[in-house]
Amino acid sequence: MEDKKISAVVTGLGMYVPDRIYDNAYFEKIVDTSDEWIRSRTGIRERRILENGATSLLASKAAEDLLKTKNMSADEIDVIIVATVTPDMFFPATACLVQENIGAKNAWGFDLSAACSGFLFAFQTGCSLVESGRYKKVMVIGADKMSSIVDYKDRNNCILFGDAGAAILLEPSEDIKYGLQDSLLRVDGSGKDVLYMKGGGSLNPPTHETIDQNMHVIYQDGKAVFKVAVKGMADISYDLMKKNNLNGEDIAYLVPHQANLRIIDATAERMGINRDKVMINIDKYGNTTAATIPSCLVEYYRDGKLKKGDKIILAAFGAGFTWGASYLVWSMD
Ligand code: COA
């Protein structure tokens, strides 16, 4: 932990999930699968799907929920960071579309692409902007319309993902015992061939051929990703705890990326944390990529389970590979 004078603390929360539910029974009708297989292999029961609109809608509604709950004007926002791998368009950034939708007329912003670690990386970035002393109100949003890049004929992948958006507000605090305390973050591009979308970028621009070859959907070698995700998330969380002299009992909650309940359980076990201290909403929403961690924070806080002073570890693993863990002390009453 380096010396710091200002801490970045979470002071606001918001989220949005679409109404439309795809339960496991829905997938039994469209691919060769079963409710039993999906629940036992992944922990997922249902996910939300956005029928009309794009990621900016998920992100903007989450931001509006935050502003309404906090009774705050959008004019006050200095920066908007949107973590997403499903931007409405390559450009302009989804952050610009959110700015217009919510009327944040004094903000600048940008998108950040780190797949399932997107929120964690955006959170670190937002905290650094606040800790620099230059920005006072930074909104960090994780939002993904995963249904726009899922192949609903591929049973290996289509059952895993859902759509959601969630937002947090970061502000400075002179009480440095609260807020972000430490992070360990990593990327390793050697993972690029086991989880990616082959087409649409400058490598394989969209053509009739890329469409015929089904290159505009998620490609994943699930087994390969599973192995490295378990090790990556568990090791880095353990290292972060050790670095900060924390043991399982000190931690109020592990807030893991929600990709697979078995990955979550393995991480918690390695950290010596009981299941009742692990935030979980994968059963309701599936893997919503950048929205998993902030949506857990919103729901557990609103349920009265997350209290001021709680020590929590956020942990994620995703395409890239990207992975990491952050240690923060909860600051909201
Ligand atoms: N329904 C029924 N059977 C399915 C299925 C489905 N929806 N999806 C795959 N299967 C089959 C496979 O075809 C395979 O059959 P085979 O043995 O005849 O080839 C069998 O189930 C077992 O597949 P396997 O890959 O061993 O299952 P798994 O236990 O590894 O679970 C995942 C598959 C995708 C759930 C798991 O690997 C996973 O979660 N991976 C990581 C995903 C992830 O985290 N991605 C986001 C980035 S972090």
The one-letter amino acid code at 141 reads I
Residue 316: name the closest of 245, 227, 234, 238 by CA. Answer: 234
Q: Which residues are catalytically annotated?
A: 116, 257, 287
Residue ranges of the domains in the chain?
A: 7-177, 180-329
Q: In the CATH scheme, what is the code of domain 180-329? A: 3.40.47.10
Annotation: CATH topology of 7-177? Peroxisomal Thiolase; Chain A, domain 1 (3.40.47)
**Is the CB of residue 84 less than 8 Å from the CB of residue 94?**
yes
Strand ranges (DSSP E) for 199-310?
218-220, 253-256
pLDDT for the residue numbered 2: 59
Q: How many CB atoms lie within 10 A of CB 302?
A: 12
Q: State which ligand 1 atom lies nearest to the alpha carbon of 195.
A: 47
Output the residue whose Cα is nearest ligand 1's atom 20: 156
pLDDT for the residue numbered 4: 74
Question: Comparing 7-177 with 180-329, is the CATH topology the same?
Answer: yes
The alpha carbon of 105 and the centre of ligand 1 are apart by a number of angstroms equal to 45
pTM above 0.95, yes or no: yes
pLDDT for the residue numbered 130: 98
Q: Is 324 left (phi over 0), alpha (psi -120 to 50) or beta?
A: left
Dihedral (Cα; 45, 50, 54, 56), 10-degree rounding: -70
Which DSSP symbol is given to 153? T
For 121-163, write each residue's pLDDT tens digit: 999 999 999 999 999 999 999 999 999 999 999 999 999 999 9
For the four alpha carbons of 70, 95, 139 and 258, in that order, the dihedral sign comes to positive
DSSP letter string, 158-222: HTTB-EEEEEEEEEEES-TTSEEEEEEEEE-GGGTTTEEE-SSSSSS---HHHHHTT-SSEEE-H
The alpha carbon of 44 and the centre of ligand 1 are apart by a number of angstroms equal to 13
- Within 6 A (CB) of ligand 1 lie 33, 37-38, 41-42, 116, 155-156, 159, 195, 220, 222-223, 225-226, 229, 259-260, 263, 287, 317-318
**Is the CB of residue 48 less than 8 Å from the CB of residue 40?**
no
Q: State which ligand 1 atom lies nearest to the alpha carbon of 262.
A: 39
Q: How far apart are CA 256 and CA 233, in angstroms?
A: 8
Output the residue whose Cα is nearest ligand 1's atom 47: 318
In the chain, which residues have pLDDT < 70? 1-2
Which DSSP symbol is given to 151? -
Output the residue whose Cα is nearest ligand 1's atom 11: 156
pLDDT for the residue numbered 1: 52
